[in-house]
């Protein structure tokens, strides 16, 4: 009640002044970026890198707040319902688009309740197997999968994780249901893959590159349109006959819907500066991630990506019949 009253008083006071004046001064206090995952994960790392760079550009502290839980939907819900003043932002990955289908009882609309600011980065994925898995290359893997079917086990890091999404896409492309083994996170799944307890996995280069280089796991393909500079000998899924298996864990920055356009523009400016900041690009490259470009770190590009990804994943998830609630 009191909140409403105070808001009304402030709104009346500001009515004459107009919002353009406040937008020009933005930001006058610290900005918070909500990461909807626990601290230390790849998304958290990306956010902290970007936040540090944006602090410099905006001249105000950009604080990272981890609101983990429920596949990123708790943190996203908090930002969706926050005041649209540009001081509470969300940095979310591909889950922002897939949660629209994975969660049937979402308290917000991932497409409509946010004002996109821009794409931040993209992390490619790799199709990998245990070291002693018989198939020598992707073609042999396809043949083996068609012959053996669910004898082959596929590890994922839990419903809605990048490895889960990639697995659904892979099984759909192969038209073979493999036996899915779910884990709580990438680390235990990778542990079982190293130990030879499961056969296949598809995961972000962040997690797989060093194992591939160390020869502890086998790699079949990268899920990008072109080969990766960090893994030049690994063919793409398209080269190996599975052109539909293309996944990247893209990250986007959002404000709540209704945020003043001038404020969004100021934030976009800071994001644009961050994605060309050598401190950020260099670290992102080390993580195996590709930073966004001047064209993609824009509201229009992110909006288009969210819309197209929601449309793309909806039939895949519905066909698999796997929901997170």
Backbone CA torsion sign across 172, 178, 179, 183: negative
Q: Minimal distance in Å, beta carbon 241 to another protein?
A: 29
Residue 59, φ and ψ in degrees, nearest 5: 75, 15
Q: Does residue 49 touch another protein according to CB under 8 A?
A: yes
Q: Which is nearer to another protein, 191 or 308 (CB)?
A: 191
For residues 6 and 12, what is the distance between their CA atoms, to the nearest angstrom?
10
Of the candidates 23, 79, 100, 102, which one interacts with another protein according to CB under 8 A?
102
**Stretch 8-37: interaction string toward another protein, x if CB under 8 A:** ------------------------x-----
Residue 314 token pair: 């909806």
Q: Does residue 92 touch another protein according to CB under 8 A?
A: no
Of the candidates 107, 293, 307, 308, which one interacts with another protein according to CB under 8 A?
107
Cβ contacts of 78 within 8 Å, gap of 6 or more: 34, 67, 88
Q: Which of residues 119-148 bind another protein (CB under 8 A)?
A: none
Q: Does residue 153 touch another protein according to CB under 8 A?
A: yes
Q: Minimal distance in Å, beta carbon 44 to another protein?
A: 7
Q: Which is nearer to another protein, 118 or 160 (CB)?
A: 160
Which string of DSSP letters, residue by residue, matches 40-87? TSHHHHHHHHHHHHHHHHHSS-EEEEE---GGGHHHHHHHHTS-SSSS
Provide the 10 A C-beta neighbour count for residue 302.
27
The angle formed by the CA atoms of residues 301, 229 and 188, to the nearest 5 degrees, is 85
Q: Minimal distance in Å, beta carbon 280 to another protein?
A: 11
Q: Does residue 112 touch another protein according to CB under 8 A?
A: no
Q: Which is nearer to another protein, 74 or 238 (CB)?
A: 74
């Amino acid at each position: 009640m009191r909140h409403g009253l105070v808001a009304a008083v402030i709104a009346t006071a500001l009515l004459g002044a107009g919002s353009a004046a406040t937008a020009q001064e933005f930001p006058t206090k610290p900005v918070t970026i909500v990461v909807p995952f626990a601290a230390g994960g790849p998304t958290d790392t990306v956010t902290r890198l970007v936040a540090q760079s944006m602090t410099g550009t905006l001249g105000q502290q950009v604080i990272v707040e981890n609101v983990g839980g429920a596949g990123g939907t708790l943190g996203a819900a908090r930002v969706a319902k926050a005041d649209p003043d540009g001081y509470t932002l969300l940095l979310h990955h591909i889950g922002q688009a897939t949660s629209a289908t994975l969660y049937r009882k979402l308290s917000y609309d991932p497409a409509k309740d946010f004002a996109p600011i821009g794409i931040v980065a993209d992390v490619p994925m790799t199709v990998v197997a245990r070291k002693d898995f018989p198939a020598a290359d992707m073609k042999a893997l396809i043949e083996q999968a068609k012959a053996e079917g669910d004898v082959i086990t596929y590890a994922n890091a839990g419903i809605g994780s990048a490895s889960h999404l990639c697995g659904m896409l892979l099984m759909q492309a192969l038209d073979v249901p493999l036996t899915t083994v779910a884990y709580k996170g990438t680390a235990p799944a990778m542990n079982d893959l190293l130990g030879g307890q499961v056969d296949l996995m598809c995961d972000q280069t962040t997690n797989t590159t060093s194992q591939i280089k160390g020869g502890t796991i086998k790699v079949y393909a990268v899920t990008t349109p072109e080969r990766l500079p960090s893994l030049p000998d690994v063919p793409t899924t398209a080269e190996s006959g599975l052109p539909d298996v293309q996944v990247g864990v893209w990250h986007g920055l959002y404000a709540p819907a209704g945020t003043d356009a001038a404020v969004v523009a100021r934030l976009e400016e800071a994001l644009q500066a961050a994605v060309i900041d050598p401190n950020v690009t260099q670290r992102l490259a080390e993580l195996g991630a590709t930073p966004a470009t001047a064209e993609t770190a824009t509201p229009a590009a992110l909006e288009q990506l969210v819309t197209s990804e929601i449309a793309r994943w909806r039939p895949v998830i519905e066909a698999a019949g796997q929901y997170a609630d």
